[in-house]
Amino acid sequence: MSPFLLTRTLPVDATEAALRADVLAGLSRRPKTLPPKWFYDARGSELFEEITRLPEYYPTRAEREVLVAHAADIAAASGARTLIELGSGSSEKTRHLLDALPLLHSYVPVDVSESALTGAAEALLAERPELNVHALIADFTGGLALPGTPGPRLVAFLGGTIGNLLPEERAAFLRSVRSILSPGDALLLGTDLVKEPDTLVAAYDDAAGVTAAFNKNVLEVVNRVLDADFDLAAFDHVARWDAEAEWIEMRLRARSALTVKIHELDLVVSFEEGEELRTEVSAKFRRERVRDELGAAGMRLDQWWTDTAGRFAVSLATAV
């Protein structure tokens, strides 16, 4: 069996330290904010998997359609010998690419979760014992130090996750990706596309209330890790389309005036009735914006594929 290596570039206590910093900064300002990465403890990950199966939530199905239909095209265009997946999780989506890349030597999954990386690697190596897997426990938004692997290299950032970054964060992230690529290496990027507001809002405010539970889970994480006393029932889930910014915002709205104590931070946070806490932006894209943002980071948009309904795009950009 080929080797499985696991490298930690994220300190063991970095997750809690980052949560403390984000909560202190985000809840001390107006308007209040929390980053969406804190949805994803074990319960949050289960809820998101449930969301991906909801009839209203099309992005996962649409992206899978593109990857299945165009995996061979992606392989031919990239010629990749190393596949690097940012935010790999279970590595489920990339199986289509792994099957299609005839010259693949190494797979480098990158995630903050050691258990997710280990579980995914064990499953992959059981199916593909010839594959070299070098997993990285790392926060890809903080810069990357990649292992030495053969080129050409293909970096995959799928799921539309880039939409969770604000414009200045996206620019910094794309520059960071470009900095680890050699000329001829490529980025495979999944982006949800601008469409009718009703379709977009429904995808983030489903009839069954699963997304509402997912949104409120960020408060449960703060309660558990930082000994806070958020009452989840005191907040309503809100999903709103911002036509000017072209993004969906998810918020939690206080039903009445209330006070929350976060004991680990020695912090008291007051909410007015109707005050909203922003927990996520999910930007939607047009081809021109993707091309321009990639170009500003030193990458050229070479290929653009969408699902048959034109809801979601997967693009291939080459480092220049």
Residue 214 CA, distance from chain mean position = 15
Other CB atoms within 10 A of residue 107 CB: 27
Q: What is the pLDDT of residues 62-110, one digit of tens each?
A: 999 999 999 999 999 999 999 999 987 767 778 888 889 888 889 888 8
Token output for 235: 């907040």
Q: What is the pLDDT of residues 50-74, one digit of tens each?
A: 999 999 999 999 999 999 999 999 9
pTM: 0.92
Distance CA 5, CA 2 (A): 10
Domain range holding 232?
34-56+198-283
**Least confident span in 30-39, 119-128, 231-240:** 119-128
Distance CA 128, CA 20 (A): 40
DSSP code string of 54-113: STT--HHHHHHHHHHHHHHHHHHHH--SEEEEET-TT-TTTHHHHHH-TT--EEEEEES-
Backbone angles phi, psi at 43, to 5 degrees: -65, -40
Residues 169 and 180 in one domain: yes
Assess whether pLDDT exceeds 80 at residue 206.
Answer: yes
Q: What is the pLDDT of residues 114-135, one digit of tens each?
A: 777 788 888 888 888 888 888 8
229 and 297 belong to one structural domain: no
**254: which 2 tokens?**
């206080």
| 163 and 209 part of one domain | no
**Number of folded domains that form the chain:** 2
CB 145 within 8 A of CB 137: no
Residue 1 has pLDDT above 60, yes or no: no
Same structural domain, 202 and 291? no
Extended beta strands in the chain, E state: 4-8, 32-33, 82-86, 106-111, 132-137, 153-157, 186-192, 235-242, 247-254, 258-262, 267-271, 276-283, 299-306, 312-319
CB 199: neighbour CB atoms within 10 A? Answer: 12
Task: Tell whether 88 and 165 lie within a shared domain.
Answer: yes
Average pLDDT of span 37-48:
88
Domain of 186: which CATH number?
3.40.50.150
